[in-house]
Amino acid sequence: MGACERDPQVSRGMKPLLLGLATMALIACTRGGQPETLHEAMSRFQVLGSEFGVSMAKVHLGPSQTFRFEASPCQEVLVFVEKGTARMGLTRLETGRAARFHAPTLLQGMSDGVTVIFAVAALSKEAPNDQVDWGAAPKDPSCPARSQQAILSDPERSGPFAHAGGRLSVMIYLDGVRNGPSVASLGTLTADPTLGVPEHIHESSAEVLWIQDGSGTMRVGDQTRAIRPGTFVHVPPQTVHGFIPDGTRPLFAYQVYAPSGPEQRFR
């Protein structure tokens, strides 16, 4: 498939994040199939944030460049093509399309320019640890058997779903209802600059956000934090949280629920 071989001794003993980055340097390949240096791999693979079994990242692929996402029944990977076109086997993923998989999967950039992929890795509750490793998905016999084939988002059922008198637009690309059993859901939120989110809780799911645009403040439990572009937010289950915008920027955020379920209220 064009993926490079890797030396299992390289990452032994490293912390999870460094392990993932170092391993990605070995498995990310140029169009000629030769290994890249760590610097080259890091320049196009960026971990946006990780917390308690969920990690978000972005990958930039040049024309014909490939990137291998490590997944397993214990570690689900969800990808969304933010810009450009990617190929996954015989399947083309155009801008705005998402896919989920539970086996190692190679994506290739198919655009003349840069293809940008937003990615989420989420561990099942049976996984042997609670820290995502982008370079080596965990395996454990207690993790339930899952399909080895990728599951694609359905454009006709993804939305948008309008709320708050049209001031909030929600896309739900992947979930556990219309896309088969899943560990996590993947969607996006687009909101008016003045639209806030009242304080609420999710009983059994964590909510994870990557704020790509927008600003304000957010309460998470007993903490209040500033929200700005580039903020990663993890809200554990049974934790009060809410958002107060500052009225200056429209909100655009990637939203993940793990396990999936709370996203269905938007439908």
Residues 78 and 139 in one domain: yes
Domain count for the chain, please give it: 2
* Whether 54 and 114 share a structural domain: yes
DSSP H or E run through 263: none
Structure token digits, residue 82: 């933010």
Cα 153 from chain centroid (whole Å): 14
Measured between alpha carbons, how far apart are the two ends of the chain, in Å? 38
| DSSP codes of every residue in 208-251 | EEEEEE--EEEEETTEEEEE-TTEEEEE-TT--EEEEE-SSS-E
Q: Does residue 238 fall inside a structural domain?
A: yes
7-13-17 Cα angle (round to 5): 85
Question: 166 and 107 share a domain?
Answer: no
Question: Same domain, yes or no, for 180 and 129?
Answer: no
Quote the tokens at residue 234: 């993890």
Cβ–Cβ < 8 Å for 85, 121: no
Last residue of a domain, one of 126, 152, 178: 152
Q: Which domain CATH number covers 202?
A: 2.60.120.10
pLDDT tier for residue 15 given thresholds of 50, 70 and 90:
very low
Confidence grade of residue 37 (pLDDT, cut at 50, 70, 90): very low
pLDDT of residue 35 exceeding 90: no
Tell me the pLDDT band of 48, cut-offs 50, 70 and 90: very high
pTM: 0.84
How do residues 64-99 score in pLDDT, each as one tens digit? 999 999 999 999 999 999 999 999 999 999 999 999
pLDDT score for 148: 84
Please state whether the peptide bond connecting residue 141 to the residue before it is cis, i.e. omega within 30 degrees of 0. no
Domain enclosing residue 134, as ranges: 16-152
Domain annotation covers residue 59: yes
- DSSP assignment string, 155-170: TTTS--EEEGGGTEEE
**229 and 254 within one domain:** yes
Tell me, yes or no, whether 208 and 255 share the same domain.
Answer: yes
pLDDT tens track for 183-195: 999 999 999 999 9
Among 152, 173, 203, residue at a domain's last position: 152
DSSP state, residue 3: P
DSSP designation for 177: T
What whole-number distance in Å separates Cα of residue 133 and Cα of residue 47? 11
- What is the widest separation between alpha-carbon atoms in the chain? 56
CA distances from 146 to 21, 143, 183 (A): 26, 9, 11
Beta bridge partners of 225: 218
pLDDT of residue 146: 86
Count CA within 13 A, CB hemisphere, residue 81: 26
139-148, 220-229, 234-243: range with lowest mean pLDDT? 139-148
Q: What percent of the chain has pLDDT over 90?
A: 76
Residue in the block written with tokens 């016999």? 141
